[in-house]
Amino acid sequence: MNDRVYLDWNATAPLRPEARAAMGAALELAGNPSSIHAEGQAARRVIEEVRDQIAALVGADPKLVTFGSGGTEANNLALTPALQVGADKAPRDRLLISAIEHASVRAGGEFAPDAIEEVPVTAAGVVDGETLVERLTALARDGRRVLVSVMLANNETGVVQPIPEVAARVHEAGGLLHVDAVQAAGRIPCDINTLGADLLTLSAHKLGGPKGAGALIRREEAVHLPRPLVRGGGQERGLRAGTENVAAIAGFGAAAEAARRNLEAEGRRMTALRERLETGLQAATPKAIIIGAESPRVPNTTLVAVPGMKAETAVIALDLAGFAVSSGAACSSGKVQASHVLAAMGASKDLARGGVRISLGWSTAETDIDRFINAWINVAGSLLKGIRGMAA
């Protein structure tokens, strides 16, 4: 298994060594972070140091960082009609989401299904600004109180959404904005104030921390969540009850810190690697379509489709050849379905089942890319054989 090449970093990133070390040290701490004795306070210190590290990654106030079990939980915590801003305590009654959100946003949190509306995206995978403004204006006219959720980077295409502009439109219409930054954090700058997000979601395992930790970050203290999801204890300033997962939080902080320190250099290196990859893919399979390539993208993600080539079959063949990639969205149920992201971008049914996602990370090397391209030549060659005019 040692010579396998892992190119599925958007599903999860391998643990960074810094995170492993921090987790090992945290596991040695005996105390409960809520205890007042020295052992408890040592565990508390770890959590508060990580709060500073996470806040630094997104330019936020540390006391507005709430830890939980990951991106899914943070999205669920954010999407609630009960959201308040200062003295404005009336419930939100509409949730607007883009058509390409992750399932944990599409589920709508605490909103009733008939209070949730989808805003389409363009063929380039970017939220349709005109429709967004139309819907915001119409809903404001009807006296609706809107919460909007738009992701910063899409997990399948890597396309980066114009969040500062979205935030400006949402705020002009009196709405609030939640941003799922799970696939963007550690890959591109994610300053909560520059973005203008009222709430921001992060997940540890996408940036080299452990699976099962994440955070919801508020931009201002005035944004208040009066009905937390997990109740029954005062942890996390009453926003998330239960003894904290100190080791996972420690790993999250170390990973965030490493990602922040190397953001620019890793970004540049990743961009060059992806260019090498996409040039190779296009030379090997000239009919390949790099989905979302005309839009700004996070530097680590390529979604490629070749007409006539089924993604599931390609992913299995590549796996057998020693390469871990995925077909569009990771299939949490083990069942591969046509991608809702590609369908929202107007791709044909065939193409929506054809996207192979190749996602890179800090330990990906040029040789990994070159080996992958060789494997792609073989796999595509044999899968496309017999489809006239398709083979490279």
Q: By the criterion CB under 6 A, which residues form the site for ligand PLP? A: 70-72, 75, 102, 104, 151, 155, 180, 182-183, 203, 205, 214
Is the Cβ–Cβ distance between 128 and 105 less than 8 Å? no
Nearer to ligand PLP, 75 or 285 (CB): 75
Cβ proximity to ligand PLP, 272 vs 331, nearer residue: 331
Q: How far is the CB of 218 from ligand PLP (least distance, A)?
A: 18
In angstroms, what is the minimal distance from the CB of 13 to ligand PLP?
Answer: 11
Question: In which element (H, E) is residue 76 found?
Answer: helix 71-78
Catalytic, 190? Answer: no
- In the block, residue with structure tokens 């040592």: 42
User: DSSP states of 138-169 as a string?
Assistant: HHHHTT--EEEE--SB-TTT-BBP-HHHHHHH
Minimum CB distance to ligand PLP, residue 329 (Å): 8
Nearer to ligand PLP, 299 or 383 (CB): 299
Minimum gap (Å) between residue 328 Cβ and ligand PLP: 12
By C-beta, is 183 or 327 nearer to ligand PLP? Answer: 183
Q: Which residue is nearest to ligand PLP (CB)?
A: 71
**Backbone dihedral region of 168: left (phi > 0), alpha (psi from -120 to 50 degrees) or beta?**
alpha
Rg (CA), the chain: 21
Contact 228, 240 (CB under 8 A): yes
Token pair of 40 as six digits: 């408890």
Nearer to ligand PLP, 77 or 352 (CB): 77
Residues 197/179, Cβ–Cβ less than 8 Å = yes
Specify whether the CB–CB gap between 202 and 73 falls below 8 A. no
- Which of 82, 103, 331, 387 is catalytic? The answer is 331
Minimum CB separation of residue 116 from ligand PLP in Å reads 17
Token digits of residue 78 = 């954010």
Neighbours of 385 (CB within 10 A): 9
Residues annotated as catalytic are 331
